[in-house]
Amino acid sequence: MIYEEDSLFELFKEERQAWDDFLTKGKRDMTRDFFRFVKTHPRKGAPTRKIAFVEGRYAAPFNGFICGTDQTPDYAVWGLFGKSDPQWGHRQPEKCRQLLDVLMPGASTQPLRQDVTKRRFFFSGTPYGDFDEVPTEAKQDYFDRYSLLLHLGWNTMIQEDYDKLSHFVENGGTLLIGLPQFSRHVKRDFLEEMMELNLWNDGDLSEFCGLKAVGPGKCYSGQWNAIGREEYVIPELSAVPSKSPEEDGPCRLAKLELTGAEPFIWDAMTGEPLVCRFRRGQGVVYTVTAYAYPGHEALQKVMAALIAKLAAENLPQCRVDDPSKEVFWNEWVENDNARRLMLLNTDWTAAGNRKKIVIDNGRIRFETEVVEREAKILTVLPNMILEPDSPELHVEVLDGGGIRCHGTGMHRITVHLADRTEIKTVDLTQDTVTDF
């Protein structure tokens, strides 16, 4: 009987199935449909990415997709090349990945722990649009293409990186960074106590951050207040502690001398600064003034709220308001007069479900739906946004300013204008070049 059950189970392995069985045929059909879509919907231009997460110098190549299910947070950050010492496991520095939940809700941070009901292994929505991950070794011109940099994990500061970040801010960029990112440590021993960060320029960050850190001070109470506190949104993270809420130890705020910076977020119980804002050149630096990494258990909520605030201030020209946080979207710029919004509903828990979203490009605002498993591409022109009735229809923007539609049969295109909405019928059995 055991043999028969095992044999029955083996029949459901994909490599043992026949050509026309449900799973193999379904996989071929989906692959065929995808390649057809790619061939009939050519992309031009480049995606808009305003936000980048900085992978610090000597940071381990942490990635939630490389770890097996049996690996715990004690798994060494450098895998088989790391020490077996507990501090070489996934600790405070790596928890910055859990803060990225704001930008890609539920994306896997394994082996760090997450609420299993929220974790997404492969796909996620993008509430603030697509974003990049950039190594600190990248060249200056690569850094300067973004408007917001999030520098939250392990980093060993050197002159080259200091200069690149300075140039980024002075030329109009916004930087969120913590004191540990100015550390000169190359070993992880200091993580156990977090009392000596070996800070750049001995803690005198006046030129960069408008403050001096003279040592660890009082512990953070866990209660915070901020300029414009009532406007903050508190994102719901999927992260859970690896073992206990106290596992990261005390979260001490730095003893500070402010040399131009202003408290932006502070401890509501003691009034001690938690985040300081410093305007430098054309840009601004937000410094987390704690002797702890921003991913520390005590800081995750306030840091998530600040990331959400800064991300909302650094959106592409065309943006999507998605209450479900299940819709992946990004903006593509073809030229000065044509943009695309590409959207995909990543909620595959119910076939054909629809997510209501709001499109807003500053002049035109309207509500629409994104259907599960159907790519949706909107064409954004100077005075209108075109919404095809089917993903089968491709709208091409001609260099001369006209529109050519590609597809078969009859289609409807919803034309969204600033003050009204119109429906245009396209007969693809006739001429496909039209004006709007």
**In what helix (H) or strand (E) does residue 108 lie, and over which residues does it extend?**
none
Q: What is the DSSP letter of 365?
A: E
The structural domains of the chain, with segments of one domain joined by +, span 2-40, 47-312, 319-434
90-137: pLDDT as tens digits: 899 999 999 999 999 998 888 899 998 898 877 899 999 999 999 999
**How far apart (Å, rounded) are the C-alpha atoms in residues 363 and 369?**
20
Nearest to 253 by CA among 269, 241, 237: 269
Residue type, 209: C
pLDDT at 8: 47
pLDDT at 1: 38
Identify the CATH number of the domain defined by range 47-312: 3.40.50
Strand order in the sheet with 262-267: 132-135, 51-55, 148-151, 174-178, 283-288, 273-280, 262-267, 224-226
Burial class (CB in 10 A: 0-12, 13-18, 19+), 177: buried
pLDDT at 188: 92
pLDDT at 2: 42
Q: Which residues of the chain have pLDDT under 70?
A: 1-17, 62-70, 82, 430-436
372-419: pLDDT as tens digits: 989 999 999 999 999 999 999 999 999 877 889 998 889 999 999 999
pLDDT at 142: 92
pLDDT at 436: 65
191-206: pLDDT as tens digits: 999 999 999 999 999 9
Task: Kindly state the tokens that stand for 406.
Answer: 């590609």
Q: Which residue stretches of 2-148 are H helix?
A: 2-10, 22-40, 96-99, 140-143
pLDDT at 123: 85
**How far apart (Å, rounded) are the C-alpha atoms in residues 226 and 372?**
39
DSSP secondary structure of 382-393: TTEEEEESSTT-
